[in-house]
Amino acid sequence: MLVSLNIRNVVLIEHLNLTFPAGLCVFTGETGAGKSILLDSLALALGSRMDSGLIRKGEKQASVTAEFSVPCDAECFTLLNEHGIEASDGTLFLRRIISEDGKSRAFINDEPVSVSFLKQIGEILLEVHGQFASYGLLDSSTHIDILDKYGKLESKVKACQNAFTKWKESKEELIKAREDAEKLQAEEDYLRHVYGELETLSPKSGEEEALANRRTLLMNSEKISENLESAYTALQGSAGAATGLRDAERSIERLSGISEDDDFTKIQEALARASIEFDEAANLIDSVRSRMVFDVRELEEIEDRLFTLRDLARKHKTTPDTLPELMESFAARLNSIDLADENIGALEAKEATDKADYQKKAEDLNLARISAANKLDKAVMKELPALKLEKASFFTVMEKLPETLWNPKGMDKVSFLVATNKGRDAAPLAKIASGGELSRFMLALKLNLAELDTVPALIFDEIDSGMGGAAATAIGERLARLSNKCQVMVVTHSPQVAAFADYHLFVAKSATAGGLTATQVKELSGEARKEEIARMLSGSRISDEARAAAGVLLESTWKKQAI
Judge whether residue 285 has pLDDT over 60.
yes
User: What band does 524 get if pLDDT is binned at 50, 70 and 90?
Assistant: very high
Whether the CB-CB separation of 488 and 458 falls below 8 Å is answered with yes
Of 445, 489, 478, 481, the residue nearest 146 (C-alpha): 445
Position 40 confidence tier, pLDDT thresholds 50, 70, 90:
confident
| pTM for this predicted structure | 0.62
- The phi, psi pair for 264, rounded to 5°, reads -65, -40
pLDDT at 8 over 70: yes
Instruction: Look at residue 426 in the predicted model and tell me its pLDDT.
Output: 83
pLDDT in tens, 112-163: 999 999 998 888 888 887 644 445 567 788 899 889 989 999 999 999 999 9
pLDDT at site 283: 85
The predicted pLDDT at position 257 comes to 67
| pLDDT tens digit sequence for 428-463 | 876 766 666 777 888 888 888 876 666 788 888 877
**Amino acid 134: pLDDT:** 47
Buried residues in 95-108 as b, exposed as e (16+ CB within 10 A): bbbbbeeeebebbb
- The DSSP 8-state label assigned to residue 256 in this structure reads B
CA angle 401, 413, 433 (to 5 degrees): 140
Q: Which range, 121-130, 257-266, 284-293, 554-563, has the best average confidence (pLDDT)?
A: 121-130
Residue range 74-96: mean pLDDT, rounded = 84
Helix axis angle, 154-186 to 323-383, nearest 10°: 150
Residue with the bigger pLDDT between 561 and 422: it is: 422
Q: Contacts by 6-9 with C-beta closer than 8 Å and gap 24+?
A: 6/63, 6/64, 6/65, 6/66, 6/67, 7/38, 7/41, 7/63, 7/64, 8/62, 8/63, 8/64, 9/55, 9/56, 9/59, 9/61, 9/62, 9/63
Instruction: Examine the pLDDT at 328 and tell me if it is beyond 80.
Output: yes
C-alpha span between 544 and 286 (Å, rounded)? 143
Mean pLDDT taken over the chain: 84
Q: Which residue has the higher pLDDT, 92 or 268?
A: 92
The three-state (H, E, C) secondary structure of 449-463, written as one string: HCCCCCCCEEEEECC
Confidence check: pLDDT of 316 > 70? yes
Alpha helices in 10-102 (DSSP H): 35-45, 76-82
Amino acid at position 23, single letter? G
- Per DSSP, 74 falls in state S
pLDDT at 275: 81
CA dist., res. 369 & res. 396, Å (int): 10
Helices 526-538 & 544-562, crossing angle to 10 degrees? 110
CA atoms within 13 A on the CB side of 559: 5
Q: Residue 513 has what pLDDT?
A: 61
% of the chain at pLDDT higher than 90: 29
- CA distances (Å), 349 to each of 95, 181, 343, 401, 455, in order? 56, 17, 10, 24, 45
The yes-or-no verdict on residue 362 having pLDDT over 90 is yes
Which amino acid type is present at position 297?
R
- Report residue 553 CA to chain centroid gap: 53
pLDDT band at 70 (very low <50, low <70, confident <90, very high): confident
**How does 277-300 read in b/e, with b if 16+ C-beta sit within 10 Å?**
ebeebbeebeeebeeeeeeeeebe
* Stretch 99-124: mean pLDDT: 89
